[in-house]
């Protein structure tokens, strides 16, 4: 089972490397959104520090939705998805491999460029570290929730729009607590521990339930 997991993970990563434009689209979109806000609200340090937490997470939410409609679409078109469902291995494990590949290609790059965003918005070094931590905890949840919506809308016309409509309301708790942790880290004397614990709980719940829910949604979509 775990051999099949690693094979599918490597396959998805290899296919993504052959379509680099899709990977860079998410990253460039994130950077463009981050860059546009200072042009609209001004370049004062106090203003940029105030809006930075919300801007970073809004950009991350929107960027993560760009590639969701293609998470299962190619496998659906070439028949690979049907073979995964018929395979003796657990479909939930196979689905989790695809979720992990999606996060490695869309979520992890956002975590890695967070220091650049922090410098752009004149954030303190400690706040940049907090930003990286909350993105590391929150972006996997975005991929796992998004996978459920992508499975439910598989094969539907205009599925990309439907995915966005389904997932954006579900992303609100991650947005609130993720941006709250960054804002709190800039206030001396306040602890970010409650935010970190809540984001960790969200990630744990997503790890437990999202592979099963996505596998069930795929079976329903293919029936």
pLDDT tens-digit readout, 106-158: 889 889 988 888 888 888 888 899 999 999 999 999 999 988 888 888 877 66
For residues 59 and 135, give the distance between their C-alpha atoms in angstroms, rounded to a whole number: 12
Checking if the pLDDT of 159 tops 70, the result is no
Chain segment 66-86, per-residue pLDDT in tens:
878 778 877 777 777 888 888
154 and 218 Cβ atoms separated by less than 8 Å: yes
Task: Please tell me the predicted confidence (pLDDT) of residue 158.
Answer: 60
Checking if the pLDDT of 204 tops 90, the result is yes
Residue 58: which residues within 8 A CB-CB, separation 6 or more? 33, 175
Number of domains in the chain: 1
Give the domain range for residue 132.
2-222
């Amino acid at each position: 089972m775990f051999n099949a997991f690693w094979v599918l993970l490597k396959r998805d990563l290899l296919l993504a490397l052959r379509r680099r434009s899709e990977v860079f689209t998410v990253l460039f979109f994130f950077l463009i959104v981050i860059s546009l806000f200072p042009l609209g609200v001004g370049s004062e340090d106090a203003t940029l520090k105030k809006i930075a937490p919300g801007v970073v997470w809004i950009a991350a939410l929107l960027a993560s939705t760009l590639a969701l409609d293609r998470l299962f679409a190619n496998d659906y078109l070439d028949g690979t998805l049907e073979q995964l469902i018929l395979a003796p291995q657990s479909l939930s494990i196979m689905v989790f491999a695809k979720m992990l590949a999606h996060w490695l290609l869309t979520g992890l790059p956002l975590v890695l460029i967070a220091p650049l965003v922090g410098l752009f918005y004149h954030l303190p070094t400690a706040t940049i570290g907090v930003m990286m931590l909350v993105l590391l905890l929150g972006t996997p949840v975005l991929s796992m929730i998004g996978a459920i919506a992508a499975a439910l809308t598989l094969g539907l016309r205009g599925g990309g729009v439907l995915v966005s409509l389904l997932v954006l309301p579900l992303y609100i708790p991650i947005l609130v607590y993720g941006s709250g942790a960054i804002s709190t880290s800039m206030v001396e004397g306040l602890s970010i521990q409650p935010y970190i614990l809540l984001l960790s709980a969200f990630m744990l719940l997503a790890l437990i339930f999202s592979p099963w829910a996505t596998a069930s949604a795929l079976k329903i979509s293919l029936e």
